[in-house]
Each structure stands twice: as structure tokens, then as C-alpha cells.
Amino acid sequence: MGRQSTRRTFIQNTSAIGAAAFVGGSVNLQAAERSANEQLNVVNFGVGGKGGSDSNNAAKFGNVIAICDVDRGTLESKGNAQGFKEAERFTDYRELLAKYGKKFDIATISTPDHMHGPITLACMRLGASCYTQKPLTRTIYEARLLAKVAAETGVCTQMGNQGTALDSSREAIAQLKSGVLGPLKEVYAWSNRPVWAQGPGRRMTMERFAKEAKEADAATADMLIEKKKEEIAKAMERVDWKSWIGVAPTREFWPGLYHTFQFRGWWDFGTGALGDMACHQLTVPFASCGLRDPISVQAKSTGHDFDSFPASAVIKFEFPETAERPAIPFWWYDRKGNKPPMEVFAKHGITDVASSGVLIVGEKGAFYSSDDYCGRYELKGVEKVKADFEKAENKGDNDTNNMYELFRAVRAGDPKICKSNFVDRAGPLTETILLGNLAVWAAATGGKDGEMGDWGEKVEWDAKNLVVTNLASLKTPKVADLIKPVYAEGHRLD
């Protein structure tokens, strides 16, 4: 057994040693105290945006020894902050792992979606526990694989859907599991995202820019082209573009088009509004209504070009009957103002509908949350019942509590402590959500003037085997390519 394996096992056994010391008195109390106080070593991948708060939260409970970010400006800023000054800095995750792979206990992964899978897999295969931002992965197969590797390695895992650590969401799950709504009928979720750019025809290259500049004004085109080249060169000094592209197909860098926040709107790098927000909004319905293994999805959208996601979409998921509930549909709506029909809400006395929310309808009443994370909710037509639930340990806000739960699990050596662990929740939840993007892919034709188009082709799904069962009859190309990615050379999937 290597030094790092010994260290990790030693830390995970802390609680057991402490218990033995008090019960039998034969364990050295001083040794138990040292193990309890030993800092967990942490590395952070992605330290800007959401990665800024994730790395800060991890630094509250562990010792950050290395940080990685493709943006050199972000990397320098974080590296100069309190708690990170001793951390070595990297722009390529593989270089960090090559040097520190046997020296850290926990990794936070808060990169663009397409890099969640490869970095998390690499860390777990080294025996490290992982806190990975939502959505867990960009593709369905990656979500299945991350859950499989987590189970095989026994590491502790947590997805960054921080609403999981809210007592209100845990209480809501307990209420709904009690059957307070009676037999379930349907589930709705709607989001005011995207708040980033999406829509067809957005990719820009120097060739396209030059062509458009010359067409607009040939006399000034050369000057504009040179100015743009200088702008790109300056931006490239800050960004390690090769590392940013990572496992994805290569493409030309363009300032502001992909990095930093705009990656979500591109099929190669993000998962659209559905991937971004459904991992938050579906935490309660997924855990309480059994929204696993849908059998089909169908969508309509404002149109896309198989490069950038549509500006807006509506998706219908169909779930088969289970022992706990009848067959039910789940409806997803994205873009501000794109919501279920008003009559759906009026039936339950809801007149002022939030810009984002969740509605679960049963035969006896309804559940309504007007918060992305279920920070608040109401039961309509029924009263709350007594339903026990485990409250989160309060170390601050729900973001901090969600992170702390992972550290607590690592110290206890118990992956089940994490409510959004990859095996039981995060992996299956991400699989369910990402299936919807297959339907969006098959709904590429929008309506006139940016309006919603007709329903696209229905995608029929075998969740057990991750197979589109009607693939041969679909006219939309490359639907199956969204299930399992092909990583660029130098990165490992299977």
C-alpha cells in the first residue's frame, strides 16, 4: 500500500479510532487526536466563476496545495488570495495530476461542462474524492461512467447542486415521499435561463470576420482585420486555449465567444439551459417522484444549427409506471417567459407565477416551488404531514454546507453521507436530464421570426443500455453522438 493510500485510509478511519478510544480505552488518544486534526489536502480545477466560491469553500475545510485554471489572470488572482498563496499553479489539469496525483485527498472540479468528466474520472482513478459542479457531465455515458467508477473506487463524491443541502428541499422530498399529494399525475419545471447567448449562426472565425469586413467596407477592412488580430493575440496571452478545448474537437479561439461564461450555449462545450438549471430544479422531483429511466423524450425549439443551442425549448419526458407511482410526464420550459399554460397553475390557485419554478401535480393537490433550489415551497390543496428528514450540518450557506458534507464523508469514510453522491443521485439525475438534449438536437427547426417550431422527432430510450431504440428510423443525423463522447488524444474516457 502506497503512502497516499495509507494516509487516506488513516483519515477515513478517524471516527472509528475516536470511538474505540472512548469505548475501550486501548487506542492511543493522542494518535486519534492527530488523525482528527490532520488537514485534508485539496486541489481545485477551475477557480473563476462558480469555481471561485467552490475553491473558497473547500479552503475553509482543507489545505489547498494546487490550483488549475486555463485563464492565467484568474489563476494569478486566486493564487494571491488568502488560503491559496502556497498552492502551486497550473493551466493544464494533466500536469497538476502528474505532480500531485498521490498527494491530495479531495478535488473540486468547476470547469466548463465538457471537462467535468475527464478531470473527475482522472481524480477518482487516483483514489481522490470529488466535488464536481453540475451538470455532472456533458453526456449521458459520462454520467453513467462516473457513477460506476465512484462505486468501484469507493471514493466520496458530491455534485454541486447546492440546493440538496437546504433543509427546505430535504423537507420537501420527505413530504412528497409520504404520498401527501396522492397518486402523481405530472411534473413541470421552467427556467428563466439562458442568460448567456444561444442561437444559430454564432460561430465566428477570422476568415468569416475578414469576409464580412470586406463586404461591409473594403477601404477599412484591412485595418479592422489587423486590429482584430491584435485583440486576439492579446487575449490568447491570458488563455491556455489548448487546455480550454481539452477533450473537445478543436476550433478557433474568439474573444468572448466561448470563454468565460458563454460555453454553456455550445453543443461541444455545454449543455444549454436544461443542463445548467435542471440539476438544481429537479433535485426535489427526482428524489421524491422517481424520475429515473425515462422511456422517451420529444422537444420543440426556436431552432439551432447543431453548433449552438436554441434560444428556447420545450421538452416532454415520459416515465413508465413503477411500483411507487403511475406513468407520468415531465415538462421542461426554458427562456424567460416560456412557461406551462396558465390553466395548469390556475387549477391550484397560483396566479403570480415565478420566472423559474417547479410544479408537481397529484390527485389530491400540488407542490409549488418558486425558487430554483427549493429554498421555499407550498403545498396546494393539502396540508403538511409529519415526515422526518435529516437536516444539513450548518456551516454557513447551502453552498458551504454542500461542500462540508463531502469533507465530513471523507473523514468518516462513508460516501453515503453525501446526499448528491454520484452513485445514488447525481449520476442518475444527470442521465435523466441530459436525455432531454437528444430531443432538442432532433428539434432543430424553429418557427418564423424566432418563434417555437413544431415538435421534433420523438427519441425512444432504453435507459438500462443507453440506447436510442428507434435510432434507425430517425431522420435527424448524429443523435447517438450525444450519448457517448470521443475524447481528444491525450485524455482518457474508458
Pick the closest to residue 392 from 384, 402, 407, 381 (CA basis).
402
Q: Please indicate, yes or no, whether residues 34 and 131 belong to a single structural domain of this protein.
A: yes
CATH number at residue 159: 3.40.50.720
Average pLDDT over residues 228-253: 97
Q: Please indicate, yes or no, whether residues 225 and 347 belong to a single structural domain of this protein.
A: no
Average pLDDT over residues 230-235: 97
% of the chain with per-residue pLDDT over 90? 92
> What is the model's pLDDT at position 25?
36
> What is the model's pLDDT at position 63?
98
Say if 489 falls within a structural domain: no
Q: Please indicate, yes or no, whether residues 317 and 455 belong to a single structural domain of this protein.
A: yes
Q: Please indicate, yes or no, whether residues 215 and 327 belong to a single structural domain of this protein.
A: no
Do residues 59 and 84 make contact, with C-beta atoms less than 8 angstroms apart?
yes
Sheet holding 157-159, edge to edge: 88-90, 63-68, 41-45, 106-109, 129-132, 157-159
* Residue 28 predicted with pLDDT over 80: no
* Residue 29 predicted with pLDDT over 70: no
Sheet holding 296-301, edge to edge: 378-380, 366-369, 357-362, 184-191, 328-334, 313-319, 296-301, 459-462, 467-468
The model's pTM: 0.93
What are 334-351's pLDDT values in tens digits?
A: 999 999 999 999 999 999
Cα–Cα distances (Å) from 134 to 160, 248, 325, in that order, read 5, 18, 27
Q: What is the dihedral of CA 452, 453, 459, 463, to 10 degrees?
A: -10
Mean pLDDT of the chain: 93
% of the chain with per-residue pLDDT over 70? 93
Of 31-35, 41-45, 387-391, 409-413, the range with the lowest mean pLDDT is: 31-35
What are 286-321's pLDDT values in tens digits?
A: 999 999 999 999 999 999 999 999 999 999 999 999
As given in the structure block, the three cell numbers for residue 90 are 497550473
Cα–Cα distance, 215 to 135 (Å, whole number): 41
* Residue 408 predicted with pLDDT over 70: yes
Reduce the DSSP state of residue 150 to 3 states and report it: helix
Say if 494 falls within a structural domain: no
- Residue 315: strand pairing partners: 299, 332
In the chain, the number of structural domains is 3
What are 52-78's pLDDT values in tens digits?
A: 999 999 999 999 999 999 999 999 999
> What is the model's pLDDT at position 241?
98
Q: Please indicate, yes or no, whether residues 178 and 151 belong to a single structural domain of this protein.
A: no
Angle at 342 between CA 338 and CA 345, to 5 degrees: 110
Q: Please indicate, yes or no, whether residues 220 and 329 belong to a single structural domain of this protein.
A: no
Average pLDDT over residues 194-210: 96
Q: Please indicate, yes or no, whether residues 121 and 171 belong to a single structural domain of this protein.
A: no
Q: Please indicate, yes or no, whether residues 461 and 444 belong to a single structural domain of this protein.
A: yes
Per the structure, the complete domain to which residue 220 belongs is given by: 206-256
* Residue 456 predicted with pLDDT over 80: yes
Cα–Cα distance, 228 to 232 (Å, whole number): 6
Say if 362 falls within a structural domain: yes
Q: Please indicate, yes or no, whether residues 314 and 238 belong to a single structural domain of this protein.
A: no
Do residues 480 and 487 make contact, with C-beta atoms less than 8 angstroms apart?
no
